[in-house]
Every structure is written in C-alpha cells, then in structure tokens.
Amino acid sequence: MKSLLLILVLTLLLAGCQSAEPKELVVLKVAYPFAQKLYRDYGFGFEKKYPHIQIQFASDSPESGSDADIVYFQSLAEFREQIERGALVSLAIRYRDDKELERVSPIVTTLLSSAADNGELYGAAPSFEGTGVFYNKDLFAKYGVESPRSGMSWKDLLALAARFPRENDEGEKLYGFDSSYTVNASLKFWLEAGRTEGLSYLQPPSGKVTINTERWRILLEGIIGSLRSAALFEGDSPAEPFLTGQAAMKLGNLSSAYNFEQFAKMGTSSPVNWAVSAPPSDPGQPDRSRYYELHHIFAISAQSPHPEEAWELLRFMLADADNIREMADVSNKGIPSITDYLRPMAGKESLSGLYALDAEPRDPNPYGWADADLVNALQEAMAPAFEQAIRGELTVEQALAAMEQAGQLAVDAKLTK
C-alpha cells in the first residue's frame, strides 16, 4: 500500500513539473526618451516579477516608433492626437474588469478619458501633478486671519492676502502671497484667476484676443483692491519669501513640499510651519479644479503583437504596491495615481489638499495650444494698460479696451511672421 502511495505521489510531482514549463520569452518594445530612468523606475521590478517578459527601448516618437508595443506621451494634447488617428488600443474593458484599478484616482481617469471623443480610457498615468495653496500656519494664527479652505475663489484668497500687514515685527517686508512671478505678477494673477473660472483671453485657432468682456470686467473689479494693496510678492530674491517666513501663502505642488523640507534642513532660517489647502476654484464649480496635470502617459499601440503583456506592464506601473513605495523612498515622482500610496511627510497632517477637488478637464490655458512666445508677447502687450488700471490712471473699462487692442496687434504681428 505504501509503495502504491509513493508511486502516486511521484506521478503527481512529475505531472506538476511537466505542466510548469517555462513561458515563451516576450520582448516588449517601449518608446520612451529616458531608457535608464524607466528601467530603474519600472523595468527592473517588472522583469523580476515577470521573468518571461523583457523590456526593450524603441524610439520615443509615436510616429517613428511604430514598432513599439507601448508609446509614451508628455501631454494630453499629444495623447489625444494619437487616439484620433486610431493608433492606440482602448483599455476601457481592462480597467472595468480589474478590481484593483478601481482605486485609481478619478482625477487621473477623468483627465485620460477627456482625451477621447467616446470618453473611453486609452492610456495609463502612473502619477499626476496637483497644485494646492501652501500657507504659513503661524502667520495666520499670529495675525488672526482665517486659514485657506477648499472652495475658495481667487478673489477670496487675495482678500485673505490683503489682511496681512506689509511688515513683520522685525521691520522686514511681509507679503500675503508669494506669486513666484518675476514680472507682471498682478496681471498674471488676474489671468490665472480667469483661467480658474474657465475664462479665455485668446481663442483657438484664430488667435482672436477676447479680454474686453463682461466676465473679465467683473473679475478685475472684484480683485483690483487686493491687487493694489501690495500684498503680492514679485521679483527676484535669494530665497523665496515663503521659505523665510515672509509670505503667508504660495501655490505649489508635491515637489514644493519636498523642497520646503529640504530648505528647512539647511538651517539658514527657522523652518516654516506649513500646511496645504485645495487650490482656488471657480465659484460656479467650487468642488472642481483645473490645477491637475498628467506628464507621463503610457498607452498600447494598436500595432502591438503583445497587447496582453503590454497591459501587464501598464498595470504594474499603476498598481504594484511594492514598486510604488520603493519609488517613493528614492525621490518625488509625483502623486501616485492610487493616492493611498502617497508617502506621508513627517510632522504634516495631510497632503490631501493637492488632490482634494475633482478634475475639470476643460482648460482655457492658451499655453496648452498656442506658441509660448506668442502668449508671452500678448501678455507683455497687455501689461502697461493693466498697470495703469491698478494705479487708477485708467478705469477698468478703458484698461480692458486698451489691453484687447494692444494684445491683438501683438498676436497678429507674431502670426504674420
């Protein structure tokens, strides 16, 4: 009986060995501009987990990289173009059938699906950028100003900024908001406030300047008092006022948070006791934000002979907990698309202000479609009249008319070159 049992066990073991034949080697071609970086971030861990799949790097251009299984995009505009050409595989069913991917932030899926007319998902973004309002908790407490909160508009935030004195107790300059702009800070703040509310001042594709409108007038009238208060910092400085405790608020992202902590370790000034709140939003949509960006989008080529293996790599990028946490320990890689994997910062309550609001994918930012030199020239042309309005030398109506006229001339000059 024992002999029979031994024979049966040996037979089962042999059968098991025969069924565990090594899988056929598959080579995945990935079109990406920085081969070493991608292999360090994903390739090494992926090949260790899937030894039958090897990653090979192809051209980083979607057009010239037609033999790639996985293609890469740095913007939604590039991504959208390839979807429209039918060059990418829809991943909608794969997302739908994968329970683990239900944890991917709706911020990411909203932005990705906005690139397709049919609203389907054609790509994967392992991380995203979110912006928030960083604020100095001690300054707000000292001067009795209420802290920024979710749902505030730019008008609300600038009103908070204007409540701080122009000097601190040591006689040093104090600012309500560190703008990070070196020139035309007030103008750019106003344009940014308009962008937040969905306003456009340059229309695609014609290049028509549309700044002299009722909504732009209402917005400027609503914040001009705060802009006149000298509460904004603009210009060059050896150190940002927020870092030295001389500014109450500043827009920033996850990289900003890491930079603040690194600056504090240098010991050149007292560490700032900061927190982060959601960015300003459109009063008509206080729970939505245009302050999100995707800079790393991966998709499967419609020509790929290995779509299943390509999907395994994309899924690994999105949801492999061990790899995501290991990356977070090395350096800042943006906010993980599964935000539960975002590494907490010591001594900070939360970083959730960077991703607290839903995504609003419709963004009127002209830098998203127009040449940067053209947009810069337009802003430079509008700046003199805008500053005259701030100084009270022009009415708001006069300034808007002058800005639109000067801006259109600048745009036309660029377009006719």
Q: What is the CATH number of the domain that holds 111?
A: 3.40.190.10
**Quick one: which of 258, 224, 281, 250 has its CA closest to 139?**
250
Structural domain contains residue 346 = no
- Tell me, rounded to whole angstroms, the distance of Cα 129 from its chain centroid: 3
Q: What is the pLDDT along the chain (417 residues), one digit of tens a residue?
A: 444 444 444 444 444 444 455 678 999 999 998 888 889 999 999 999 999 999 998 865 555 446 899 999 999 989 999 999 999 999 999 999 999 999 999 999 999 999 999 999 999 999 999 999 999 999 999 999 999 999 999 999 989 999 999 999 999 999 999 887 767 888 998 999 999 999 999 999 899 999 999 999 999 998 888 888 878 786 656 568 999 999 999 999 999 998 888 887 887 778 899 999 999 999 999 999 999 999 999 999 999 999 999 999 999 999 999 998 887 765 567 999 999 999 888 888 899 999 999 999 999 999 888 899 999 999 999 999 999 999 999 999 999 999 999 999 999 999 987
Q: How many domains does the chain have?
A: 2
Q: Are 119 and 30 within one domain?
A: yes
Structural domain contains residue 95 = yes
First-to-final CA distance of the chain: 95
Separation CA 140–CA 159 (nearest Å): 13
- pLDDT score at 10: 44
Range(s) of the domain holding residue 230: 132-290+364-415
Q: Are 270 and 296 within one domain?
A: no
- pLDDT score at 332: 64
- pLDDT score at 100: 94
Sign of the torsion angle spanned by Cα atoms 196, 200, 204, 209: negative
Tokens of 200: 């456009």
- pLDDT score at 18: 45
Structural domain contains residue 10 = no
Structural domain contains residue 212 = yes
Q: Are 160 and 170 within one domain?
A: yes
Other Cβ atoms closer than 10 A to 37 = 11
Structural domain contains residue 219 = yes
Q: Are 145 and 235 within one domain?
A: yes
Tokens of 213: 């409108």
Which residue's structure tokens are 């059938």?
A: 97
Structural domain contains residue 19 = no
Q: Are 207 and 235 within one domain?
A: yes
Q: Are 169 and 59 within one domain?
A: no
What 3-state class would DSSP assign to 175? strand
- pLDDT score at 279: 97
Q: Are 115 and 162 within one domain?
A: no
Are 194 and 219 spatial neighbours (Cβ–Cβ below 8 Å)? yes
- pLDDT score at 7: 44
Q: Are 108 and 226 within one domain?
A: no
Burial label for 23, CB within 10 Å (0-12, 13-18, 19+), is exposed
Structural domain contains residue 35 = yes
